[in-house]
C-alpha cells in the first residue's frame, strides 16, 4: 500500500520520471489494453499498476513498432486516452490525466490534509456527476471551477473516499482507510503488515510525548497497556523503572531492550533496576536514551509478548521498545522549529508533614531536659545545629567588641532560642527555583524521489530546579536515504548528543544491617535536606556536621559533581532488491559513549574540612577521618588532607559495534497464499571501560595544584585502599534468526520464528553459550470472512490472535561462571613490605549455567465497533519464567556455600485492555477518549535460599517463595511499653524492644504488606478539539503496591533533625501507650543504659506502622493547544504554527493519606535523586 502511495506522489512532477532504456518490438491489433500491457511486461519485465476502470472494456489497442523505446510506445497508447504514467522501482503506475486547464477558472479553493495535518499531494477532487475535477498540489491545495454547495468526491488511495459539500477555503481531512489496513508493525528488524502480525504490540505516536520532559522514556507512562513506568527519581539522566508486563527475573534487571532505528541501545554502565532508586551518582548515566531529542521521534512500538519479541529471542525476555526517528518525506520540504519553556513549581511545606520551627524547638527543649544537647557533648559532637551554635557563641570571644558573641545570661539565651522558634526557614524556597528550562529544536526535512533527508539540532538549557542541578544538552541527528539505483538504496543515520550536568556531591549509599539503616554520608541533596533539616536553622548560619562547619547553601557551591556525557551513533544500511520479491539488506552501526563524572570537593567544603577537624582533643580522638601512624607508638592523629580538597573522577566509556545482514522474501501465490520469509544473522560487540581516580589534596583555590602528604598513601596501603581503578568488560554476541509467515488471503495467518543466539557473557564454556529460542503464533482476521458483513457496521472489525513462545535473557550481570572465574587481587597484609599480588577464585564453575527463560502464552482480540469509532484491544497472557538465576545452598565443599545458579522460577499472568473511542465528531468539535488498563500479577514459585530480614523490609523490598518478585515485608509492631518503647515480634516469637536481628534468615514472622511494583497501571486520556483548539486532559493511575514511608525515627536526635507532625502525638507520660503508637524520645540515660534500644527504633522505621498504599491517580497532563489557521498564516512564510500551554504532574487526585505529601512513585534516597516536579510548559511550534 505504501508503495502505491509513493508512486502517486510523483505523478504530478511529470518531467522528472525516466523509464528503463529498453526497446521493444510490437505488432498488436485490436487487443485489449490488458493484453497490450502483458505483452510489454513480457518483453521488458516491467510491471504495471493500474485501476482497471481506467480503461473502457471495449477500448482496443492497435500498435506496431520495431525497436521502439518503451517511453514512445506508452506515450503513443496512453496520451490519446487521457492517461499518464509513471515508473518507479520497475513498476509503472497508470492513472488518469487531469485536465489542469480548469485551474485558470477557479472559484472554490481548498486544501486536502491527512489526519496528522500533513498535506496530501495528488488527491483527486471531482465534482459529483461531472468530469470536472482537480488534483491537490504539493501543499495539498486545489482549486475548482464549481459552485458552493455542489458535492465533491475526494479520493486518494489509502484513504477513505469522501463526499463533501463545496465551499470556498475548505479544509478536507482525509481519513486513512481502516485502522488495520496499511498499518505496519516496526520490529526494528523489519516491517510487518499489521494484518499479518500475530504478536501483542502497542504503538505510541510522537504526539503522545509530553512537552517539557527531555527524557522520552518518561512520556511512556500510561501510554501503552502492560507498560509500567515508575519515576523512582526525576533527575535528568536517571532512567525510570520501566516494566513491560511486570518483572521477568528475580535477580536480573527485567529492563526492556531499547532499539532505536534498528540498533540495540546499550547502557554505558549497567545499573540494576533496584539501584535506579539508590540516588547514587551512577544513576545519572543510567538512561540509554537520555541523548535522544524528543522532537526527533516519530513513534514507539512496544513489543510485549514472546511472539512480538521473538526475533530478539535471547535478549528480549523483558520486552522490547522500538523507537523510530523521523525521516524526510519526498516532495515535502520543511523547516520546523519547536521551542519549549518550562517552569517548575517550588515544593511547599504545606504539602508535607513537617513540624514548624516552634513545635520543633519545643521538642528540642524536651531533648535537652532528657539530658541531650548539653554543652560539652554538643560542642565535642559530630553534628550540631541551633543549640550547638548557641554554646559556640557563648564560648566565642570577639576581640573587637570585647564581648562574647552571645552573653552567658538566661535572657540572652532565651532571646536566641525565641528567635529560632520564630524562624520557620523555608528551605524549599532557599534551595529551589522556578527558573525557566528551555528547549529549542530545529529540523530540516525534505527530499525527492531519489533522496530524502532529515536533519535536526536541539539545545536544552536547564538552569536547574534546585541548586547544583543545571543541565545543558545538545543533540544533532541526521538521517538520509539515497536511491542509488531503482533497486538499491542506502540509508545513513548519525546522531550525537552532548550533555553537561551538575549534581550535588554525593557518596554511595550503604546499608547498616546491624542497626537497620540505609545511610549516606555527607548527603547534601536539597530535596531530602529540605525535608530532613530543622526549620529552626538559619539558612545563612554555619552549623557543624562531621566536626566541621556546615552550611547547606555553601556546601552546594563547594561540593558538586560535574557530569559530561557524549553519546554518538553512526549507522548505515544498504538495501538491495535483486528481484521485486526479495530484499537483501546489511546494516552496520557503531556506538560510542563516554561519560566523565567529576566529584569536586572544594577546599573549604564541609567534606574536605572534615578531614582536618580536630578542634578539641576529644574531637581529634573521635574523628575517624584522621590518621594515626601505626608505626609510631606515640603518634597523635594527623590530617591526611592538610590542604586543598578532593577530586574524584569516574570515567565510563562504551564502544559498540553491530552488524546485521537480512533477507526478506515475500510472494503472493494465486492472490491467495501470502508467504513471507525473513532471516538473517547479526553480531554485536560492546566494550565498556570504567576508570576511577581519587585526586587527593587538589587545591582548587590555589591554581588547582595538588598538595598531598605521604601519609595519605601510607594509610591507603595499610588499609588496602586503591587510589585508582580500571574495570573493562567485553560483550560479544552472535545470532541467527529466521521467521516465516503464511497467510491465506489475509484471513488466517500462521507465524513461526527461530533464533539461535550465542554470547560470551556466560563465560568461555562453548556448551553454555548457545541457546535457541522460538515462537509459534497465529491470527484470524474474522472481519475478512464473508459472514462478518452481516455484523457490519455495528461491529466493524475483529481479529483473534494467539501465540506461544520461548524467549530468554542472560541473567544478572555478575553471574557469568560457566567456567571458573579467577581474578587478580592483592591479599591484605598488615605491612606494606609483606604485600604480594595473586589470583583468587571468585566464582566456581557452573557448567550448567544457562540463560534465564520464559514461556509465554498470549491470546489477544482486536475489535472495532461502529465503523471503528470504538476500537478495543484486549490481551491475556500467562508466563512461566524458569531457569532464573537464584541463590542455592550447597554443601559448600567447593568453597561457596551459597552459589547463584539457574534454580529459581516464577510465574505471572495479566490482562491488558485499551479502548479508544471517538465520542463526538462534528465539523468543528471533536472528542476522543483513550482508556488503558493493565493488570499484572507475579509469584515466585521456586527459590532455594532465603534472604535476610533487612532485604525484605527495605523500601525496594525483596522476595520469598510464594510471594511477588519485589515484596515488602514489615516487622510486626506490638505496641508501646509502659516506658514508651516500641515493641516488636521477633523470629524467636518473643516481643522485644531491643533484641532485634535484622540479619535473621528466619523471616516467617514478618508481615507481608504487598508488592512494591504496582499490579494495576494505566491511564485515561480525553482530547477535545474545537476548530484549532485542542484540550488534552490526561490522567494516569497505578494501584496495588505498598510503599515504605521515609525513616524518621531514631534512638536519638540532634538539633539539626526535622520531625514530622506525628511526633506531636508521641508518648510522653505513662498511660500514653494506650493512646498512641508514636514511641518516646529516649533520654540520654535510657539510651546509654541500653544501647540495644536503638535496634527497636531502627525496627520502628521498618514496621507495619510505617507502610502506606502506593495507589495513586495522578493528573499527569492538562494541555491546551491552538493551531493557527492556515488562513491567518497566509502571506507569511509560515505553513503552520501552534502554541500549547501544558501543566504536567499537577496533583494527585488520589493517594493514601498516610503518605502525607511523600510521592508514592519516588524513592527519597538522597544523593542525586529528586521527584518529578510539578511544571508548566509553553510550547511553540512553527513550520516553514
Partner 1 sequence: MKSIKKYIGVSIVGIAFTCIVSSCDKYLDTLPDNRTELHNASDVSKLLVSAYSTSYPAYLAEMESDNTDDNIDDNWTAVDRFQRQAYEWDDITETTSDDDTPQKLWSNYYMVFSTANTALEFINTQDTTQYEPQIGEALITRAYAGFMLSTVFCNAYDATTASAQLGLPYPTKTETSPGSKYERGTLDQLYQKIAADIEKAIPLISDNYDQPKYHFTRTAAYAFAARFYLYYQKYDKAIAYATKALGSNPDNKLRDWAAWDALTENDQIRPNAYTASNVASNFLLITANTVIGAVCGPYEVGCKYTHGVAVARSETLMSNGPWGSSSSAFNYGYFYNPSLAQYCVRKLGYYFEYTDHTDNVGIVHSTFSAFNAEETLLCRAEAYALQQKYTLALNDINAILSKFSVGGISLSMAGIQNFYGSINYYTPTSPTVKKQFHTSFAIESTTEEPLLQCIMHLRRLLTLHEGLRWQDIKRYGMVIYRRQITNGVVTAVTDTLSANDPRRAIQLPQDVIAAGMQENPRITK
Measured from the CB atom, the residue of 827 and 975 that comes closer to partner 1 is: 827
Q: Interface with partner 1 includes 633 (CB under 8 A)?
A: yes
Measured from the CB atom, the residue of 672 and 835 that comes closer to partner 1 is: 835
Among 836, 922, 1069, 1131, binds partner 1 (CB under 8 A): 836
Footprint of partner 1 on 1018-1077 (CB under 8 A):
none
Among 790, 794, 893, 1069, binds partner 1 (CB under 8 A): 893
Cα 56–chain centre separation = 58
Q: Interface with partner 1 includes 27 (CB under 8 A)?
A: no
Among 706, 838, 975, 1070, binds partner 1 (CB under 8 A): 838
Strand partners, 85: 94
Least Å from the CB of residue 808 to partner 1: 16
Footprint of partner 1 on 508-537 (CB under 8 A):
508, 510, 513, 521-522
Footprint of partner 1 on 844-863 (CB under 8 A):
844-848
Measured from the CB atom, the residue of 215 and 718 that comes closer to partner 1 is: 718
Q: Interface with partner 1 includes 670 (CB under 8 A)?
A: no
Q: How many residues bind partner 1 (CB under 8 A)?
A: 81
Least Å from the CB of residue 611 to partner 1: 9
Q: Interface with partner 1 includes 725 (CB under 8 A)?
A: no
Query: Cα–Cα distance between 198 and 749 in angstroms, integer?
Result: 8
Contacts of 573 (CB under 8 A, 6+ apart): 262, 490, 491, 492, 585, 586, 587, 588
The interface region with partner 1, picked from 163-171, 275-283, 719-727, 774-782 by CB under 8 A, is 719-727
Show the DSSP H helices in 664-786 as ranges: 710-719
Query: Cα–Cα distance between 1143 and 1160 in angstroms, integer?
Result: 20
At 637 the three-state DSSP class reads coil
Q: Interface with partner 1 includes 888 (CB under 8 A)?
A: yes
Contact (CB, 8 A) for 976 and 1079? yes
Measured from the CB atom, the residue of 100 and 898 that comes closer to partner 1 is: 898
C-alpha cell at 409: 545570661
Name the pairing type of β-strands 898-921 and 559-579: unpaired
Least Å from the CB of residue 941 to partner 1: 19
C-alpha cell at 35: 493484453
Residue 344: its H or E element: strand 334-344
C-alpha cell at 1118: 492538562
Query: Cα–Cα distance between 952 and 1104 in angstroms, integer?
Result: 13
C-alpha closest to that of 595 among 523, 692, 520, 525: 692
Least Å from the CB of residue 543 to partner 1: 20
Among 825, 925, 1029, 1147, binds partner 1 (CB under 8 A): 825
Q: Interface with partner 1 includes 767 (CB under 8 A)?
A: no
Query: Cα–Cα distance between 187 and 319 in angstroms, integer?
Result: 11
Q: Interface with partner 1 includes 630 (CB under 8 A)?
A: yes
Q: Interface with partner 1 includes 638 (CB under 8 A)?
A: no
The torsion of the CA quartet 611, 617, 623, 625, rounded to 10 degrees, works out to: 40
Contacts of 593 (CB under 8 A, 6+ apart): 268, 291, 565, 566, 567, 568, 652, 653, 654
Measured from the CB atom, the residue of 473 and 653 that comes closer to partner 1 is: 653
Footprint of partner 1 on 936-955 (CB under 8 A):
945
Footprint of partner 1 on 996-1025 (CB under 8 A):
997, 999, 1001
Q: Interface with partner 1 includes 551 (CB under 8 A)?
A: no
Contacts of 1094 (CB under 8 A, 6+ apart): 515, 1050, 1051, 1052, 1087
Q: Interface with partner 1 includes 772 (CB under 8 A)?
A: no
C-alpha closest to that of 1155 among 1054, 1079, 1048, 1022: 1048
Q: Interface with partner 1 includes 729 (CB under 8 A)?
A: yes
Q: Interface with partner 1 includes 724 (CB under 8 A)?
A: no
The interface region with partner 1, picked from 77-85, 534-542, 816-824, 1168-1176 by CB under 8 A, is 816-824
Strand partners, 208: none
Contacts of 753 (CB under 8 A, 6+ apart): 307, 310, 311, 313, 737, 738, 739, 740, 774, 775, 805
Least Å from the CB of residue 517 to partner 1: 12
At 1034 the three-state DSSP class reads strand
Q: Interface with partner 1 includes 578 (CB under 8 A)?
A: no
Footprint of partner 1 on 607-626 (CB under 8 A):
607, 624-625
Per-position x/- string for 740-759, each x denoting binding to partner 1 as judged by CB under 8 A, each - no binding: ------------------xx
Q: Interface with partner 1 includes 500 (CB under 8 A)?
A: no
Q: Interface with partner 1 includes 733 (CB under 8 A)?
A: yes
Measured from the CB atom, the residue of 30 and 891 that comes closer to partner 1 is: 891
Q: Interface with partner 1 includes 1133 (CB under 8 A)?
A: no
Q: Interface with partner 1 includes 736 (CB under 8 A)?
A: yes
Strand partners, 133: 126
Q: Interface with partner 1 includes 763 (CB under 8 A)?
A: yes
Least Å from the CB of residue 590 to partner 1: 17
Measured from the CB atom, the residue of 604 and 1104 that comes closer to partner 1 is: 604
Got the DSSP string for 1077-1092? -SPPPPPHHHHHH-TT
Q: Within a 10 A sphere around the Cβ of 501, how many other Cβ atoms?
A: 26
The interface region with partner 1, picked from 272-280, 451-459, 504-512, 568-576 by CB under 8 A, is 504-512
Contacts of 156 (CB under 8 A, 6+ apart): 8, 112, 120, 122, 123, 124, 174
**Which DSSP category does 381 fall into?**
S
Least Å from the CB of residue 675 to partner 1: 13
Footprint of partner 1 on 74-133 (CB under 8 A):
none
The interface region with partner 1, picked from 288-296, 365-373, 761-769, 870-878 by CB under 8 A, is 761-769
Query: Cα–Cα distance between 761 and 918 in angstroms, integer?
Result: 49
| Residue 1129 CA: distances (Å) to CA of 115, 173, 839, 856 | 20, 19, 74, 53
Query: Cα–Cα distance between 756 and 735 in angstroms, integer?
Result: 5
Footprint of partner 1 on 349-388 (CB under 8 A):
none
Least Å from the CB of residue 960 to partner 1: 16
Q: Interface with partner 1 includes 1147 (CB under 8 A)?
A: no
Least Å from the CB of residue 722 to partner 1: 10
Measured from the CB atom, the residue of 840 and 925 that comes closer to partner 1 is: 840
Among 203, 769, 783, 1174, binds partner 1 (CB under 8 A): 769
Footprint of partner 1 on 671-700 (CB under 8 A):
681, 683
Contacts of 896 (CB under 8 A, 6+ apart): 843, 844, 890
Residue 980: its H or E element: none
Among 362, 616, 728, 1132, binds partner 1 (CB under 8 A): 728
Among 41, 75, 766, 1027, binds partner 1 (CB under 8 A): 766
Among 32, 351, 568, 760, binds partner 1 (CB under 8 A): 760
Q: Interface with partner 1 includes 761 (CB under 8 A)?
A: yes
Q: Interface with partner 1 includes 65 (CB under 8 A)?
A: no
Least Å from the CB of residue 857 to partner 1: 30
C-alpha closest to that of 385 among 889, 1056, 954: 1056
| Residue 560 CA: distances (Å) to CA of 547, 602, 693 | 20, 9, 16
Q: Interface with partner 1 includes 164 (CB under 8 A)?
A: no
Q: Interface with partner 1 includes 584 (CB under 8 A)?
A: no
Q: Interface with partner 1 includes 650 (CB under 8 A)?
A: no
Footprint of partner 1 on 967-996 (CB under 8 A):
none
Amino acid at each position: 500500500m505504501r508503495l502505491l502511495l509513493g508512486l502517486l506522489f510523483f505523478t504530478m512532477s511529470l518531467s522528472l520520471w525516466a523509464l528503463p532504456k529498453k526497446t521493444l518490438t510490437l505488432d498488436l491489433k485490436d487487443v485489449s489494453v490488458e493484453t497490450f500491457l502483458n505483452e510489454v511486461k513480457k518483453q521488458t519485465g516491467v510491471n504495471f499498476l493500474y485501476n482497471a476502470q481506467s480503461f473502457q472494456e471495449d477500448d482496443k489497442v492497435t500498435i506496431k513498432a520495431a525497436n521502439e523505446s518503451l517511453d514512445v510506445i506508452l506515450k503513443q497508447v496512453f496520451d490519446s486516452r487521457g492517461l499518464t504514467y509513471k515508473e518507479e522501482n520497475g513498476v509503472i503506475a497508470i492513472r488518469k490525466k487531469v485536465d489542469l486547464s480548469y485551474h485558470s477558472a477557479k472559484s472554490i479553493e481548498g486544501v486536502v490534509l491527512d489526519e496528522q495535518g500533513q498535506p496530501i499531494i495528488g488527491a483527486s477532487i471531482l465534482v459529483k456527476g461531472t468530469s470536472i475535477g482537480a488534483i491537490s498540489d504539493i501543499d495539498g491545495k486545489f482549486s475548482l471551477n464549481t459552485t458552493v454547495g455542489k458535492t465533491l468526491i475526494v479520493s486518494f488511495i489509502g484513504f477513505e473516499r469522501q463526499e463533501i459539500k463545496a465551499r470556498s477555503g475548505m479544509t478536507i481531512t482525509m481519513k486513512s482507510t481502516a485502522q488495520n489496513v496499511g498499518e505496519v508493525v516496526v520490529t526494528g528488524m523489519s516491517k510487518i503488515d499489521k494484518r499479518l502480525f500475530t504478536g501483542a504490540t502497542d504503538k505510541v505516536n510522537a504526539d503522545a510525548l509530553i512537552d517539557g520532559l527531555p527524557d522520552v522514556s518518561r512520556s511512556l507512562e500510561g501510554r501503552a497497556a502492560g507498560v509500567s513506568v515508575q519515576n523512582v527519581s526525576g533527575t535528568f539522566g536517571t532512567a525510570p523503572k520501566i516494566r513491560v508486563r511486570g518483572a521477568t527475573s528475580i535477580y536480573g534487571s527485567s529492563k526492556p531492550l531499547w532499539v532505536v532505528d534498528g540498533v540495540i541501545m546499550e547502557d554505558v554502565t549497567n545499573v540494576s533496576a533496584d539501584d535506579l532508586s539508590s540516588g547514587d551518582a551512577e544513576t545519572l548515566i543510567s538512561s540509554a536514551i537520555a541523548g535522544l531529542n524528543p522532537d526527533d521521534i516519530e513513534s514507539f512500538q512496544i513489543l510485549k509478548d514472546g511472539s512480538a519479541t521473538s526475533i530478539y529471542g535471547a535478549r528480549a525476555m523483558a520486552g522490547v521498545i522500538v523507537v523510530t526517528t523521523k525521516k524526510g518525506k519526498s516532495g515535502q520540504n520543511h523547516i520546523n522549529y519547536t521551542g519549549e519553556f518550562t517552569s517548575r513549581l517550588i515544593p511547599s511545606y504545606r504539602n508535607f508533614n513537617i513540624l514548624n520551627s516552634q513545635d520543633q524547638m519545643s521538642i528540642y527543649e524536651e531533648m535537652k531536659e532528657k539530658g541531650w544537647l548539653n554543652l560539652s557533648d554538643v560542642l565535642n559532637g559530630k553534628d550540631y545545629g541551633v543549640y550547638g551554635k548557641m554554646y559556640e557563641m557563648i564560648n566565642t570571644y570577639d576581640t573587637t567588641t570585647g564581648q562574647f558573641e552571645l552573653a552567658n545570661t538566661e535572657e540572652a539565651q532565651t532571646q536566641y532560642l525565641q528567635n529560632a522558634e520564630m524562624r520557620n526557614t523555608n528551605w524549599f524556597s532557599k534551595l529551589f527555583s522556578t527558573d525557566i528550562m528551555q528547549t529549542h529544536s530545529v529540523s530540516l526535512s525534505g527530499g525527492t524521489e531519489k533522496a530524502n533527508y532529515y536533519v535536526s539540532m536541539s539545545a536544552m538549557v536547564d538552569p536547574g530546579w534546585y541548586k547544583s542541578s543545571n543541565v545543558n544538552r545538545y543533540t544533532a541527528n541526521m538521517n538520509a536515504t539515497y536511491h542509488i539505483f531503482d533497486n538499491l538504496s542506502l540509508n545513513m543515520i548519525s546522531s550525537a548528543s552532548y550533555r553537561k550536568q551538575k549534581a550535588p556531591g554525593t557518596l554511595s549509599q550503604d546499608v547498616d544491617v546491624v542497626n537497620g539503616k540505609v545511610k549516606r554520608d555527607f548527603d547534601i541533596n536539597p530535596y531530602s535536606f529540605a525535608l530532613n533539616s530543622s526549620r529552626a536553622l538559619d539558612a545563612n548560619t554555619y552549623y557543624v556536621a562531621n566536626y566541621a562547619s556546615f552550611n547547606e547553601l555553601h556546601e552546594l557551591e563547594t561540593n558538586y559533581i560535574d557530569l559530561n556525557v557524549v553519546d554518538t551513533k553512526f549507522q548505515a544500511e544498504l538495501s538491495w532488491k535483486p528481484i521485486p520479491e526479495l530484499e537483501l539488506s546489511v546494516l552496520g552501526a557503531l556506538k560510542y559513549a563516554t561519560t566523565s563524572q567529576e566529584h569536586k570537593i572544594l577546599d573549604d567544603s564541609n567534606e574536605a574540612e572534615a578531614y582536618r577537624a580536630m578542634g578539641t582533643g576529644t574531637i581529634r580522638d573521635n574523628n575517624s577521618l584522621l590518621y594515626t601512624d601505626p608505626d609510631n607508638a606515640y603518634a597523635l592523629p594527623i590530617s591526611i588532607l592538610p590542604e586543598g580538597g578532593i577530586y574524584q573522577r569516574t570515567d565510563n566509556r562504551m564502544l559498540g559495534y553491530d552488524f546485521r545482514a537480512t533477507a526478506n522474501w515475500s510472494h503472493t501465490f494465486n492472490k491467495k497464499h501470502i508467504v513471507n520469509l525473513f532471516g538473517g544473522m547479526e553480531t554485536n560487540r560492546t566494550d565498556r571501560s570504567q576508570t576511577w581516580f581519587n585526586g587527593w589534596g587538589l587545591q582548587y583555590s590555589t591554581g588547582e595544584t595538588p598538595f598531598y602528604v605521604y601519609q595519605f598513601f601510607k594509610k591507603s596501603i595499610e588499609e588496602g585502599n586503591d587510589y585508582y581503578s580500571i574495570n573493562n568488560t567485553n560483550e560479544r554476541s552472535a545470532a541467527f534468526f529466521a521467521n516465516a509467515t503464511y497467510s491465506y488471503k489475509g484471513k488466517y495467518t500462521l507465524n513461526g520464528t527461530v533464533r539461535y543466539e550465542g554470547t560470551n557473557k556466560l563465560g568461555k564454556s562453548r556448551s553454555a553459550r548457545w541457546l535457541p529460542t522460538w515462537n509459534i503464533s497465529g491470527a484470524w482476521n474474522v472481519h475478512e470472512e464473508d459472514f462478518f458483513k452481516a455484523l457490519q457496521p455495528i461491529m466493524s472489525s475483529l481479529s483473534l490472535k494467539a501465540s506461544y513462545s520461548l524467549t530468554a535473557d542472560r541473567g544478572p550481570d555478575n553471574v557469568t561462571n560457566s567456567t571458573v572465574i579467577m581474578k587478580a587481587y592483592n591479599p591484605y597484609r598488615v605491612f606494606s613490605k609483606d604485600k604480594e599480588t595473586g589470583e583468587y577464585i571468585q566464582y566456581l564453575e557452573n557448567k550448567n549455567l544457562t540463560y534465564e527463560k520464559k514461556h509465554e502464552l498470549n491470546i489477544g482480540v482486536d475489535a472495532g465497533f461502529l465503523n471503528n469509532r470504538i476500537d478495543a484491544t484486549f490481551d491475556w497472557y500467562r508466563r512461566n519464567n524458569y531457569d532464573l538465576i537464584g541463590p542455592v545452598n550447597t554443601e559448600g565443599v567447593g568453597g561457596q556455600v551459597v552459589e547463584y545458579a539457574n534454580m529459581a522460577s516464577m510465574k505471572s499472568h495479566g490482562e491488558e485492555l485499551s479502548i479508544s473511542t471517538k465520542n463526538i465528531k462534528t465539523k468543528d468539535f471533536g472528542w476522543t477518549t483513550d482508556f488503558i488498563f493493565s493488570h499484572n500479577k507475579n509469584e515466585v514459585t521456586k527459590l532455594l535460599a532465603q534472604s535476610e530480614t533487612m532485604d525484605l523490609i527495605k523500601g525496594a523490598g525483596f522476595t520469598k517463595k510464594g510471594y511477588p518478585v519485589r515484596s515488602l515485608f514489615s516487622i510486626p509492631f506490638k505496641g508501646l511499653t509502659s516506658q514508651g518503647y516500641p515493641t516488636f515480634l521477633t523470629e524467636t516469637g518473643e516481643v522485644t524492644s531491643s533484641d532485634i536481628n535484622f540479619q535473621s534468615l528466619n523471616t516467617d514472622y514478618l508481615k507481608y504488606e504487598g508488592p512494591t511494583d504496582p499490579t494495576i497501571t494505566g491511564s485515561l486520556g480525553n482530547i477535545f478539539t474545537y476548530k484549532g483548539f485542542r484540550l488534552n486532559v490526561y490522567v494516569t493511575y497505578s494501584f496495588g503496591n505498598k510503599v515504605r514511608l521515609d525513616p524518621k525515627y531514631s534512638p536519638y536526635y540532634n538539633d539539626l533533625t526535622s520531625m514530622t507532625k506525628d511526633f506531636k502525638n508521641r508518648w510522653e507520660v505513662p498511660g500514653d501507650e494506650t493512646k498512641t503508637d508514636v514511641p518516646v524520645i529516649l533520654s540520654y540515660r535510657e539510651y546509654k543504659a541500653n544501647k540495644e534500644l536503638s535496634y527497636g527504633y531502627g525496627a520502628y522505621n521498618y514496621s507495619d506502622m510505617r507502610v502506606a498504599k502506593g495507589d495513586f491517580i495522578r493528573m499527569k497532563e492538562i494541555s491546551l493547544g491552538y493551531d493557527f489557521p492556515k488562513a491567518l498564516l497566509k502571506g507569511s512564510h509560515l505553513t503552520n504554527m501552534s502554541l500549547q500551554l501544558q501543566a504536567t504532574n499537577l496533583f494527585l487526585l488520589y493517594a493514601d493519606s498516610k503518605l502525607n505529601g511523600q510521592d508514592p512513585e519516588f524513592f527519597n534516597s538522597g544523593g542525586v535523586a529528586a521527584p518529578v516536579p510539578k511544571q508548566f510548559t509553553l510550547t511553540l511550534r512553527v513550520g516553514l
